Amino acid sequence: MSLLNSSIPVTFNQLYLNGGYSAPHSSESFSVLNPKNNTLVADRIPVADDTDVDNAVKFAEAAFAGPWSKFSATERAACFHRLVDLLEERLPHILRLDSLTTGNPVSLIPTRERNYIRNCLLYYAGWTDKQRGDYFPDDDGFIKLVRHEPIGVCVAINPYNSPVASFFIKAAPCLATGNVLIVKPSEKSPLGSLAVAALFEEAGFPRGVVQVLTGDGSTGARLASHMRISFTGSVATGKKIQVAAAQSNLKRVTLELGGKSPAVIFEDADLENAVTWTVNGILARTGQVCVAASRVYVHRSIAPKFIELYCTRMKDAVNDIGDPQELETKFGPLADTAAFENVQSMITRAKKESEQVIGGDRIGEEGCFLEPAVVLNPNPDAEIYKNEVFGPVSVVKTFDTEDEVIALANDTEYGLMAGVFTRDINRAMRVSAKIDSGVVGVNCVSLMNIQAPFGGKKASGIGREFGEYALRAFTEPKTILIK
């Protein structure tokens, strides 16, 4: 079946292998529903089996050793630029596909989604001819050269919340460094990834350089046991992938996992700015982002005013929740019934483990729409305080001293994103250095930039994406000694 306009031929009942859509070996399949009303969007989507994975690997190896290995940096960059031109017209249609199964509002497409993907591709197009190595003089009788060589066949196992954007975040540095890529999108949102795959050959990338295998966790496990992985998702799944990678051939793994991001609001902060960033940081994609500002710490002296403004803004957000396929909608439903029920259960338990819970009720009688929730001063061991919710739910807790809030912010297994809100630049630099997080914003939070490394500490992941740092994840250094 096809949900795109006629200019983009695509089927969702086949895999994308070696430059074309082809029937899977597997007979197992799954369906995807629209979370706004639980109606069927597409069925008979393949669950790739061992044979399908083996075929994808065979094609990828042939592509890596074939014409792609002879492309110059300029030719690779030209492919990137042609892909950007193709996406200019077709990307909105492709992104609408994933809106049907994730609940992501189509209002994000013209700005956030489109610009994010375009800028990512243009940025890495500029890196294709900058893979410089190193030279060390022959002071010991040997000239030392260091080359950064592509790894070869790589795999991206992507999350459901921003599937096409994640596709390009992995593909751009991977292809810029001369590798080839197999993409396994989430079983909750495979449609956009299947649709966008064909554009790579149209842009000039040789067949087999980019392939898409659909499936569930079993397909991901097959890939994790087979080759190098780049994974974005939950901590539990990330641990399984790391084990599978180690047990197979000790392949390198980059893991961008979950978060429980703290935002620290000091007494001298610009209150309006702090409220705006922290509210937007928990409502974006209905809270289904790893960098969501889900823990807000506010100084006791300004807590009453901040909490009043914050809760009012969260309540008002209900007016912007609606049909994700309508352009005026800012926030959609949770991704599916399982996610909705999990978040509601956590809110119910939070009512017994905190001073107060504001909001958190179901909106309407059908679909997975949830009222944003604020949990005030939860118990230190409360589930809602310790665990990632992945929904529009934040906790707000008061503090008195700088040392106290640093300890609170770091008292978590996560370390992905944080924010510090203050007018005091010395305190901003001091506290941002002490917070144990891969990214810290000052007077902002839940923000990423393609030029700067992004990734987490502790259980939030291994390795870095974005910027030059992502290129190192897709290359191996080789030392050459010349006597």
* Catalytic residue annotation: 256
The three-state (H, E, C) secondary structure of the chain, written as one string: CCCCCCCCCCCCCCEEECCEEECCCCCCEEEEEECCCCEEEEEEEECCCHHHHHHHHHHHHHHHHCHHHHCCHHHHHHHHHHHHHHHHHHHHHHHHHHHHHHCCCHHHHHHHHHHHHHHHHHHHHCCCCCCCCEEECCCCCCEEEEEEEECCEEEEECCCCCHHHHHHHHHHHHHHCCCEEEEECCCCCCHHHHHHHHHHHHCCCCCCCEEECCCCHHHHHHHHCCCEEEEECCHHHHHHHHHHHHHHCCCCEEEECCCCCEEEECCCCCHHHHHHHHHHHHHHHHHCCCCCCCEEEEEHHHHHHHHHHHHHHHHHHHHHECCCCCCCCCECCCCCHHHHHHHHHHHHHHCCCEEEEEECCECCCCCCCECCEEEEEECCCCHHHHCCCCCCEEEEEEECCHHHHHHHHHCCCCCCEEEEECCCHHHHHHHHHHCCCCEEEECCCCCCCCCCCECCCHHHEECCECHHHHHHHCEEEEEEEEC
Cα separation, 442 vs 385, in Å, equals 23
Distance, CA of 28 to chain centre: 27
Q: Whole-angstrom Cα distance, residue 450 to residue 163?
A: 17
Q: Could you give the angle at which helices 271-283 and 303-316 cross, rounded to 10 degrees?
A: 40
Question: Are the C-beta atoms of residues 289 and 446 closer than 8 Å to each other?
Answer: yes
Q: Note the residue count of the chain.
A: 483
